[in-house]
Amino acid sequence: MERMQGEAEGDHLERPSPLTDKERVMIQDSWAKVYENCDDTGVAILVRLFVNFPSSRQYFSQFKHIEEPEELERSAQLRKHANRVMNGLNTLVESLDNSEKVASVLKLLGKAHALRHKVEPVYFKILSGVILEVLGEAFSEVVTPEVAAAWTKLLATIYCGINAVYEEVGWSKHSSSSG
Ligand code: HEM
């Protein structure tokens, strides 16, 4: 069953405190392992997003009506976006000590998804949960509870940044083409 949280009124976002040096190192070390398996991990994350949260498929013209995980996995549009997500995360992870770069990446991402693709921002939060889940399962030897906590913080920071860009560009639910 699809359950979504996060857009309820009063769901105020608190920007997490900046990452500590130790957290940064934990994220970068664990990411190195994940990124070695970039294609498989990216596809696993997106297939899980689209299977567990079917409404997230609405934005993707080529597979919005596909339900079968195996068929989703073969979709060229899904695989392309998986790649973009992994490369986006890679750039952010590589730039953890450069807050201006992080801000500019989030700005581009937020603007493209709000203005061009009209994606509800809550899907970034949902995707964060799926990323954590898949990393924890597929890389359990490196994603210890402490490492997972650092990732939780980074993903919350990304989501807050994206959300701020959505606000800046005047996002409102009514701008969504799906109503
Ligand atoms: C960390 C999260 C994400 C990253 C790094 C990312 C990255 C990207 C990039 C680089 C593009 C191409 C940008 C452009 O058109 O200028 C793109 C396109 C797109 N993204 Fe994302 N994305 C993310 C999350 C999401 C989410 C959560 C959704 C919706 C559920 C989404 C839906 C789309 C759609 C519909 C397109 C256009 C696809 C197409 O034309 O084939 N993205 N994304």
ipTM: 0.98
Q: Does domain 21-169 have CATH number 1.10.490.10?
A: yes
* Cβ partners under 8 Å of residue 49, min gap 6: 56, 126, 127, 130
Domain ranges of the chain: 21-169
85 lines ligand 1 (CB under 6 A): yes
* Alpha-carbon distance values, 172 to 33, 152, 176 (Å): 38, 26, 8
130 lines ligand 1 (CB under 6 A): no
| pLDDT recorded at residue 8 | 43
Q: Which atom of ligand 1 is nearest the CA belonging to 86? A: 5
| pLDDT recorded at residue 7 | 46
pTM: 0.93
Distance 51 CA to ligand 1 centre (A): 17
Q: Tens digit of pLDDT for each residue in 78-113? A: 999 999 999 999 999 999 999 999 999 999 999 999
- Mean per-residue pLDDT of the chain: 92
Residue with tokens 């450069």: 98
Q: Provide mean pLDDT across the span 16-27.
A: 96
108 lines ligand 1 (CB under 6 A): no
| pLDDT recorded at residue 15 | 85
In percent, the amount of the chain with pLDDT more than 90 equals 87
For residue 4, pLDDT beyond 90 = no
Q: Which atom of ligand 1 is nearest the CA belonging to 116? A: 15
pLDDT range class, residue 133, cuts 50, 70, 90: very high
175 lines ligand 1 (CB under 6 A): no
| pLDDT recorded at residue 147 | 98
For residue 179, pLDDT beyond 60 = no
Torsional sign, CA 68, 69, 75, 80: positive
